[in-house]
Amino acid sequence: MRSATAKTEGPSRPALLQAMIDAFRIPDLRGRILFTLSMLVLFRLLAHVPVINIDRSVLNDIFRDNQLLGFVDLFSGGGMRTLSIVALGVFPYITSSIVMQLMTPVIPKLQALAKEGESGRQRMNQFTHYLMVPIAVAQGFGQLSIIGRAGGLVGTGFSGGLGLTSVTMVLSMAAGSVFLVWLGELITERGIGNGISIIIFAGIVAQFPELVGQGFLERGNLGGLLLLVLMGVLIVYLIVLFTEAQRRVPVQYGRSIFRGGRMYRQSGTTFLPVRVNSAGMIPIIFAFSIMILPSYIASYFAGSSSSVVSGISRFFNTSLSPTALTYWIMVFFLVMGFTFFYTMVVFQQQNLAENLQKNGGFIPGIRPGRPTAEYLNRIIIRVTWGGAVFLGLVAILPYFATEITQVRALQLSGASLLIMVGVALDTMRQLESQLLMRNYEGFLK
């Protein structure tokens, strides 16, 4: 058996390439990688199976003009743009997970389940799946209503009606979303990485050829295109930096052992990591959902006979349009606010101070109990400032990148880059741990 530091033949190969070769030499790890790839191929095939009664010639115009559908299309991997049976992607599951996390501190029964360990987590996961189904039905109905009103459907007057054809379309999209979540959980169980995240990652990567094609439309603005690429490289570097950044809070654990009929007191020191960006993508999802909703509702009253109602509708459509500076300023501050809100909710659910005290741990110089909780809250708030500003800048990146480079045909999505980098880092960590478990040298330094 190899030692943990042994290298395979070909020591001049890059560490990442050598790690991939080592991974394929291990039968069970090779099986996990191939299983993950096969599930992603199945996902991409389903993304090209459309629902009935769609007008392809109109869909592209609808998605170009409607920011709400464009944002949801990000999580469906382009499936929404073709109105496939997996057009909803895993977005209903993400919405359900967020709702469950936010409701846990409010509902006592959910709080009790969260404290029951693995069995409680499994029960909470069941509730999340149950809630996902009505959310998927509601989202499918709403999105088909938008597309139907814009003329993207043929053979049916889908405008909120509940005919047999409309019900069939909604249920097929909801079933496709449930099937994708099942595929994601299979990847988590039998493959490599977090399955739900990898499906989102694969959907974003699948849109790269289209982005490259759009880049050729900007050959007359070569300087702006190069600047956009440089900005993309810079933001990827910053995403990696802030994703990995953490504040390490020293924690000591004391324990008593019996040896030779006597009790000895031993202590060990470890660290409690507080990540700068512990909220991930959730604040950006919240912010864009809130910003898109008013203009979407206002579009229903654009043709009102009342001058007051139509004036308010025009105000929302212009002031909260993605082409307006006020829109992105509000997005920035909303992202910052939701970052603090979501981070504090998550940390409150973890009960760090209480868990440390139960396990005999303490922070040097800080009394256990309430003083520890207050100390950790101060650290979390200070650290979250960096994550909040960072997420806010990532959210508004597309607008300023377009204004600076004047590249209109190709847009740089900070949210897409944040998802891709986060999923790639998480998957590499899992592959690294699998290699180290089997006494192979890893590739992350």
Residue 108 has pLDDT above 50, yes or no: yes
Q: What is the pLDDT of residue 161?
A: 52
Out of 237-241, 308-312, 315-319, 382-386, the most confident range is: 382-386
What is the residue whose two structure tokens read 């996390």? 101
Q: What is the pLDDT of residue 416?
A: 77
Q: Name residues whose C-beta falls within 8 Å of residue 356's C-beta, 6 or more positions apart in sequence.
A: 251, 272, 362, 363, 368, 372
Q: What is the pLDDT of residue 78?
A: 63
Residue 263 has pLDDT above 80, yes or no: no
Q: What is the pLDDT of residue 71?
A: 63
Between CA 301 and CA 227 the distance in angstroms is 41
Query: How many CB atoms lie under 10 A from the CB of residue 399?
Result: 20
- 322: burial class by Cβ within 10 Å (0-12, 13-18, 19+)? middle
42-66 average pLDDT score: 78
Report residue 277's pLDDT band, with 50, 70 and 90 as the boundaries: confident
287-308 average pLDDT score: 70
pLDDT digits (tens, 9 = 90+) for 382-428: 999 988 998 888 888 877 777 777 766 566 677 777 888 888 888 88
Q: Which residues pair with 273 in a beta bridge?
A: 248
What is the residue whose two structure tokens read 């939701």? 338
166-175 average pLDDT score: 88
Under 8 Å between Cβ of 49 and 172: no
Q: What is the pLDDT of residue 261?
A: 55
Residue 181 has pLDDT above 80, yes or no: yes
CA distances to 86, 246, 270, 353, 432 from 363, rounded to whole Å, are: 48, 17, 10, 9, 31
Measured in residues, the chain has a length of 445
Q: What is the pLDDT of residue 397?
A: 81
Coil vs helix vs strand at 272: strand
Query: How many CB atoms lie under 10 A from the CB of residue 91?
Result: 24
Pairing label, strands 262-275, 361-362: unpaired
Between CA 82 and CA 95 the distance in angstroms is 22
* Residue 204 DSSP one-character state: H
pLDDT digits (tens, 9 = 90+) for 202-222: 888 877 777 666 666 656 667
Under 8 Å between Cβ of 417 and 273: no
pLDDT, greater one: 48 or 296: 48
Out of 250-264, 314-328, 357-371, the most confident range is: 357-371
Report residue 129's pLDDT band, with 50, 70 and 90 as the boundaries: very high
* Residue 5 DSSP one-character state: T
Residue 233 has pLDDT above 80, yes or no: yes
Residue 244 has pLDDT above 70, yes or no: yes
Q: What is the pLDDT of residue 61?
A: 72
237-261 average pLDDT score: 75
CA distances to 144, 149, 257, 309 from 306, rounded to whole Å, are: 28, 22, 80, 5
Helix orientation angle between 27-46 and 15-25, rounded to the nearest 10 degrees: 100
- Whether the CA torsion 285, 286, 291, 294 is positive or negative: it is positive
Report residue 6's pLDDT band, with 50, 70 and 90 as the boundaries: very low
List of domains in the chain: 1-217+411-445 (1.10.3370.10)
Residue 439 has pLDDT above 70, yes or no: no
Between CA 79 and CA 50 the distance in angstroms is 9
Q: What is the pLDDT of residue 213?
A: 66
Report residue 56's pLDDT band, with 50, 70 and 90 as the boundaries: confident
Q: What is the pLDDT of residue 4?
A: 41
Hey, what are 170's tokens?
């909604």
Between CA 132 and CA 202 the distance in angstroms is 21
Q: What is the pLDDT of residue 77?
A: 59
Give the rounded distance of the alpha carbon of 223 from its chain centre: 32
Lowest mean pLDDT among 147-156, 259-268, 322-331, 366-375: 259-268
Lowest mean pLDDT among 137-141, 180-184, 227-231, 264-268: 264-268
Coil vs helix vs strand at 441: coil
pLDDT digits (tens, 9 = 90+) for 333-342: 999 998 998 8
What is the residue whose two structure tokens read 């739900």? 196
Between CA 123 and CA 140 the distance in angstroms is 26
Under 8 Å between Cβ of 30 and 24: yes
- 368: burial class by Cβ within 10 Å (0-12, 13-18, 19+)? middle
Report residue 250's pLDDT band, with 50, 70 and 90 as the boundaries: confident
Out of 59-68, 191-200, 428-437, the most confident range is: 191-200
Reported pTM: 0.75
Report residue 182's pLDDT band, with 50, 70 and 90 as the boundaries: very high
Residue whose C-alpha is closest to residue 173's, from 209, 201, 147: 147
Report residue 140's pLDDT band, with 50, 70 and 90 as the boundaries: confident
